[in-house]
Amino acid sequence: MGQRQPAPNTGVTVGLAALGSLTIAYLLASRIGPALMVFALAGLLAATIFAVISFRNWVIPFAIWIVAVGGFRFLWFVQAGGLPDLYLDRMMLIWLGMVFLIKSVVGKRIPTGPYTLDLFILCHGLYILARVYIQHMHYIQPWFMSIAIPYCAYFLAKNIIDDSRRIRVLWWVLLGLVVYYSFTSIVEKYRIDALIFPRNIIEAKELEFRGRSIGPFIQPGVFGTSFAMLLPIHLYFLATVRSRLAKVLVGACFVAAAVGLMFTYTRGSWLAGAAGLGVAAILNRRRYLPLLAPAAVIGCLVGLFVLGVGHDKFMKERFENEDTLGSRVGTAATALRVWRDSPVFGVGFFQFGRVREDYIEPVNAPLLGTIRFSQYRDNPLHDIYLGPLAEDGLVGAVLQYGIYFLILRNILRKRRSLAGDRHFTELILPVCIGSFAAYFVGGLAFDYRFFSFMGALFYMTAGILEGYRSSPETADVS
């Protein structure tokens, strides 16, 4: 049988297509210039490759989104003109939603159950959104940052990061993020301005937070609590990496992260970090406690003899300063007074600052004595417990506390039902609970609703635990 001949018009078609492509390229290059043309083509190629990778392995775009929320949203953005600016984290969230929708429709896959926690999260998010709509849509931006992004992190993590292999990949990415945090915090402390990125950190430090490391969040409390919630991940890798060199490198990252946390000079974050590490170590005393003890000793030695913590005047000032504690107590008392007058629905989302002047008066507190109202008159809410009572009322607070209860109940349920999956119960679960502990302790002195990352970490971890499915290869501890 003779070889099949190509269709006679194939060559003509290819030639016309090539000629058309060259003509379009020439016209575009003449309009926008060859340099911008090459840049646009390179961007299109990168976007195409990323799209292909995303549909093959959607852990990658999820991890990139979390990193973008964690301080890298400034790397790329588009001004939308009258609409919210499209920063990298928002663009990645839109892309993730598209990928998830397409894969769900094509694969005929419904979101992972159970759905009780999903329902509580949805009701709470819609309740706050309804309050925003009734008050003023000006507050849609803080709603998006403090409610929508964390709740999206829960939903996406639940349906994407559902086994130990994906968790490990995500945690490697987060470990890399902590390395960046540690480096940035240390070079901020020693004023090595040439190495600080992004550059707006330098300017912001001079304005308000002189002497404290503020990171890409431009806020030492956020920076410190982010450190605190991510510290337990080091214990997981110290216990699971096999080569001695890898253990040394992870251990060095651990010590650097502790130093970076210290340089934020935020006492609530210090307590949160200690709580997170302590809880994770207690829950796995066999593997994690022997790792934490020498790391703590090394950290103390580095602090005393290398960093000179004992002679750090700013550290001494932070420990001796009682005004901050008094202002927190005064703000909490004011929040309770506000809630007393609006118990069911509260005064409204982000409305505490508008009404607080009507409720401020001196507070008599045990051990602290009389707290003058001048100490806290301009304070925003500083916790995640009483603040929601004042602004969202019993309805919002019950929904929020219900979410916390369901997350804790799921931890107990997973620990019982997956007892045979020792990698999960002995290595992954303690780290997740340690991160939760850091979040709850830090929330005693800091209101996360002004920022996205701590909430995104918390609800991402909750989603991972809710959607986790055991597999045969993870039955034993690595």
DSSP structure string for 348-383: -TT-HHHHGGGT---EEETTTEEEPGGGTTT-----
| 8 A C-beta contact, residue 241 and residue 247 | yes
The DSSP letter of residue 78 is E
Which neighbouring-strand residues pair with 363? Answer: 371
Confidence at 81, pLDDT banded by 50, 70, 90: low
292-351 pLDDT, tens per residue?
888 777 777 776 666 666 566 666 666 656 567 778 888 888 899 999 999 999 999 989
Q: Specify the pTM.
A: 0.88
Mean pLDDT of the region 242-269: 92
Q: Helix 116-135 vs helix 149-160: angle between axes, to the nearest 10 degrees?
A: 160
Backbone angles phi, psi at 363, to 5 degrees: -120, 130
Chain Cα centroid distance, residue 155: 14
* Cα 439 to chain centroid, rounded: 11
Confidence label for 1 from pLDDT (cuts 50, 70 and 90): very low
CA distance 362 to 375: 9
| pLDDT > 80? residue 231 | yes
Return the residue matching tokens 């796995």: 284
Greater confidence, 453 or 310?
453
Average pLDDT, the chain: 85
Q: How many helical (H) and strand (E) elements, i.e. helices and strands, does the chain have?
A: 21, 4
Q: What percentage of the chain has pLDDT greater than the value 70?
A: 82
> Residue 273: pLDDT band by 50, 70, 90 thresholds?
very high
Predicted local confidence at residue 168, as pLDDT: 96
Q: How high is the pLDDT of residue 3?
A: 52
Annotated domain spans of the chain? 56-110, 163-321
The whole-number pLDDT of residue 36 equals 66
Q: With 70 as the cut, is the pLDDT of residue 6 above it?
A: no
Residue type, 394: L
pLDDT for residue 382? 84
Q: Name the least confident of 2-6, 373-377, 400-404, 417-421.
A: 2-6
430 vs 142, residue with greater confidence: 430
Q: What is the pLDDT of residue 43?
A: 65
- pLDDT for the residue numbered 152: 96
Beta carbons within 8 Å of 286's beta carbon, 6+ residues apart: 426
Helix H segments across 33-115?
34-56, 59-67, 88-106
Q: And the tokens for 253?
A: 């990252």
Q: Of 10-19, 81-90, 227-236, which range is least confident?
A: 10-19
pLDDT of 141 above 50: yes
Asked which of 182-186, 211-215, 472-476 is least confident by mean pLDDT, the reply is 472-476
pLDDT bin (cut points 50, 70, 90) of residue 247 is very high
Q: Provide, rounded to the nearest whole percent, the portion of the chain with pLDDT above 90.
A: 49
- Residue 210 has a pLDDT of 72
47 CB-contact burial (10 Å; exposed 0-12 / middle 13-18 / buried 19+): exposed
Q: Please return the burial class of 23, using the count of CB atoms within 10 Å of its CB with bins 0-12, 13-18 and 19+.
A: exposed
First CA to last CA across the chain, in angstroms?
59
Mean per-residue pLDDT, 258-277? 92
